[in-house]
């Protein structure tokens, strides 16, 4: 009996210690689960963030590449227009000479003598730097004058074809088979510097009426394109985006033609370089271009650095040329952002783990205290009550402990939790809810979650949300709510309906967390993609988006006109050479500030590269050319004021080209007009404003080097 009595006395204590141990194991398992789950979510968020940042960089490279390709194509198109204009002018001069000779001598000379005089008058004339000459053909295809192959004169050239199968003489005849009896012909012929290779050629021909002759001249397109290459090289050098974004132009054999990052290395062939790492990186880029282009990751030297840095580039072969265009950006910006985000996530992780450890310790101590106290009480009471009553009391206490444990676990969760009844009245919230919203539990009990509404969502949004919860049992998504202090913030929320066995809703449970930091990061990335990092003005991409949008709105709604101002600092290179690039950057920042102060809120100021600025001016209904001239003169007056730097006044000057949009003209046509007006301002002596007019169409825009030559 004594033995049984001792066993009965020890039984409650053993049972209590057993339950205590199980509770501790459950708490430990729950803590480990929360820790592992939080760490997994942390790693997933970091990986997702890195993928988003890399995708954002790739999208940015594609946008910059598209802008650069379009501008280069635009420049090459100018070469074709210039060649056609020059061929037209030269042919017209030849016809003037022939008509003059014919009017003077055709009555004095026989027809063969007259024809011979006209042919010999044109035979020795040369132009286009000595490579241009005149040719004369009959309508039946017989060559009358061909200075480069005089032995073919008098022969029929109707069957002469180029390497594409095009009949050259028949193309010339077709060009004059119209009411104007004049036109352009496009064909290919052997290049003077390589008699084995045909290249594109453009000729203008017109009929000499007295003898029905085809008279014309032309030149190779690549000759005029070569004249534009220095301008394209300088354009590539001046493109900047982000802190480390540059463009480079490479020939297909690996020769570096132009580079914004390392202009001093132009002329070096990296495929034959001594550095094996650079040689391998260059080979990967060139191979990618030969296969159609794409994204390439490799290691490269940053400007002024002695160690390699990781870089991602978009490689694209240019159409109809031996050039490869490379847009690259170093990963330092990405690494800095990732380091900041990882530090924030690590801090949050430590806070979560610390809260779990504190909760586990408190619950364990409470459980131990309860076990000791309850064990002593059980020993005293066990003698007076039957075993079944003692077991029932123990179960009641264990249930109470479990409820307290569940409450502590919910309260220690990092996400905010709201429990509502079937009428959507708040029954319970946890401490994370208070931390996120600023409301305590006593302030929200009995109220509805509508008290957090920010006003950004309409009634239809909430109706659809609750319809989905009632029909599907849950809803998750992004909502903008309002904190107690009035601050509006975004949150990701999951709402579920808890139902009984009969399918009736008993409670609604919402779990949410604040995503303000993620939204701020997204906004930061958008800002980096749309603004110039030095001046804070809109960049080229943002300028083109705004200009296309404004022109589309004007065409659709017949809104007031749009003007474009091209602003270029005169001799800015001298400031950089004399004072240094730091002072040059300070001058650019001051000019950007003056430009913003002079413009209205409806206008847009942007920096498109180097010392070039572009402004979009939206004219009001009552405004016209006179008001625009006043605005330009006021702007010029402000921009040419000296810039004070380190107690030194730096004199600056600028030229402005202005163009007003005309019906049917697109964004690049408007930009070309403003660019031609800017060139005219440079040509007239700089420091002035010139408005575009039709006569400027025949004036070719110079390269940037020519425009800045004193």
The span from the CA of 549 to the CA of 564, in Å, is 14
Report residue 402 CA to chain centroid gap.
Answer: 56
C-alpha distances in Å from residue 446, one per residue of 12, 89, 241: 42, 88, 54
Distances from the Cα of 370 to the Cαs of 7, 22, 382, 401, 584, in angstroms?
22, 14, 17, 9, 75
Q: Are 429 and 407 in contact (CB under 8 A)?
A: no
Residue ranges of the alpha helices (H) in 106-167?
111-123
- Using DSSP's 3-state secondary structure scheme, residue 330 falls into strand
Tell me the DSSP string of 483-536.
Answer: -TTS-EEEEEEEEEEEE-TTS-EEEEEEEEEE-HHHHHHHHHHHHHHHB-TTT-
Please tell me what DSSP assigns to residue 232.
H
Question: d(Cα 430, Cα 415) in Å, to the nearest integer?
Answer: 9
- Determine how β-strand 323-330 pairs with β-strand 416-420: unpaired
Strands 562-569 and 654-660: antiparallel
Beta bridge partners of 562: 618
Alpha carbons within 13 A on the beta-carbon side of 708: 17
Q: In the structure encoding, which two tokens stand for residue 76, read together?
A: 């090459």
Q: Are 442 and 528 in contact (CB under 8 A)?
A: no
According to DSSP, residue 213 is labeled: E
* Alpha-carbon gap, residue 586 to 297, rounded angstroms: 34
> Which residues, at least 6 apart from 633, have a Cβ–Cβ distance to it below 8 Å?
689
Determine contact, residues 495/510, Cβ cutoff 8 Å: yes
CA separation for the pair 490, 484 (Å, rounded):
14
Q: Is 477 left (phi over 0), alpha (psi -120 to 50) or beta?
A: left
Pairing of strands 135-137, 689-691: unpaired
Tokens encoding 225:
């394109």
Residue 227 known to be catalytic:
no
* Cα gap 703→394, rounded to integer Å: 93
Q: Which of 698, 700, 692 is nearest to 658 (CA)?
A: 692
User: What is d(CA 496, CA 476) in angstroms, rounded to the nearest whole number?
Assistant: 9
Catalytic member of 550, 568, 611, 675:
611
> Do 281 and 258 touch, CB atoms closer than 8 A?
no
Task: Give the residue numbers marked as catalytic.
Answer: 611
């Amino acid at each position: 009996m004594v033995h049984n009595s001792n066993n009965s006395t020890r039984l409650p204590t053993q049972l209590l210690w057993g339950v205590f141990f199980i509770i501790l194991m459950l708490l430990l398992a729950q803590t480990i689960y929360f820790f592992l789950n939080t760490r997994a979510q942390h790693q997933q968020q970091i990986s997702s963030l890195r993928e988003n940042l890399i995708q954002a960089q790739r999208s940015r490279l594609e946008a910059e590449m598209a802008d650069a390709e379009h501008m280069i194509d635009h420049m090459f198109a100018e070469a074709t227009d210039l060649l056609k204009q020059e061929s037209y002018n030269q042919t017209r001069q030849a016809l003037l000479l022939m008509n003059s000779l014919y009017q003077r001598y055709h009555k004095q000379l026989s027809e063969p003598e007259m024809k011979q005089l006209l042919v010999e008058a044109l035979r020795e004339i040369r132009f286009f730097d000595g490579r241009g000459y005149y040719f004369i053909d009959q309508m039946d295809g017989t060559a009358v004058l061909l200075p480069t192959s005089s032995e073919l004169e008098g022969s029929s050239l109707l069957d002469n074809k180029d390497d594409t199968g095009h009949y050259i003489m028949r193309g010339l005849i077709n060009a004059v088979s119209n009411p104007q009896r004049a036109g352009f012909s496009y064909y290919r012929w052997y290049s003077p510097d390589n008699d084995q290779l045909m290249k594109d050629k453009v000729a203008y021909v017109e009929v000499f009426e007295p003898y029905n002759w085809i008279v014309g001249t032309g030149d190779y397109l690549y000759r005029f394109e070569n004249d534009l290459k220095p301008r394209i090289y300088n354009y590539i050098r001046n493109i900047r985006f982000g802190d480390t974004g540059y463009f480079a132009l490479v020939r297909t054999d690996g020769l570096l033609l132009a580079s914004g990052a390392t202009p001093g290395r132009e002329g070096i062939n990296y495929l034959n370089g001594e550095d094996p790492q650079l040689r391998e990186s260059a080979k990967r880029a060139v191979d990618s271009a030969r296969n159609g282009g794409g994204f390439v990751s490799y290691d490269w030297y940053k400007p002024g650095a002695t160690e390699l840095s990781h870089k991602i580039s978009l490689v694209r072969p240019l159409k109809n040329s031996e050039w490869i265009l490379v847009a690259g950006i170093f990963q330092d910006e990405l690494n800095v952002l990732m380091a900041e985000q990882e530090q924030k996530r690590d801090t949050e992780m430590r806070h979560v783990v610390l809260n779990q450890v504190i909760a586990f310790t408190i619950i364990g101590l409470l459980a131990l205290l309860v076990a000791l106290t309850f064990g002593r009480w059980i020993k005293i009471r066990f003698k007076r009550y039957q075993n079944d009553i003692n077991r029932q009391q123990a179960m009641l206490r264990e249930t109470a402990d479990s409820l307290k444990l569940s409450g502590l676990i919910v309260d220690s969760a990092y996400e905010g939790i709201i429990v509502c009844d079937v009428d959507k009245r708040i029954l319970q919230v946890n401490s994370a809810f208070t931390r996120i919203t600023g409301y305590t539990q006593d302030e929200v009990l009995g109220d509805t979650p509508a008290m957090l509404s920010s006003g950004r969502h309409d009634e239809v949004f909430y109706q659809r949300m609750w319809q989905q919860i009632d029909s599907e049992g849950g809803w998750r998504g992004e909502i903008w709510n309002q904190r107690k202090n009035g601050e509006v913030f975004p949150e990701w929320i999951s709402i579920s309906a808890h139902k009984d066995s009969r399918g009736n809703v008993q409670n609604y449970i919402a779990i949410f967390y604040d995503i303000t930091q993620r939204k701020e990061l997204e906004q930061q990335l958008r800002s980096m993609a749309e603004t110039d990092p030095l001046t804070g003005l809109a960049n080229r991409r943002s300028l083109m988006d705004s200009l296309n949008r404004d022109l589309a709105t004007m065409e659709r709604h017949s809104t007031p006109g749009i003007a474009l101002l091209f602003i270029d600092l005169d001799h800015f290179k001298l400031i950089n050479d004399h004072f240094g690039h730091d002072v040059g950057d300070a001058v650019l920042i001051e000019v950007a500030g003056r430009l913003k102060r002079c413009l209205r809120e409806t206008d847009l100021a942007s920096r498109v590269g180097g010392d070039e600025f572009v402004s979009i001016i939206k004219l009001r209904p009552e405004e016209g050319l006179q008001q625009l001239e006043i605005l330009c003169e006021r702007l010029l007056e402000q921009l040419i004021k000296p810039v004070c730097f380190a107690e030194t006044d730096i004199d600056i000057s600028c030229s402005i080209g202005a163009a007003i949009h005309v019906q049917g003209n697109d964004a690049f046509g408007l930009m070309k007009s403003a660019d031609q007006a800017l060139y005219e301002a440079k040509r007239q002596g700089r420091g002035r404003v010139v408005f575009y007019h039709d006569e400027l169409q025949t004036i070719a825009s110079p390269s940037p080097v020519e425009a800045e030559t004193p």
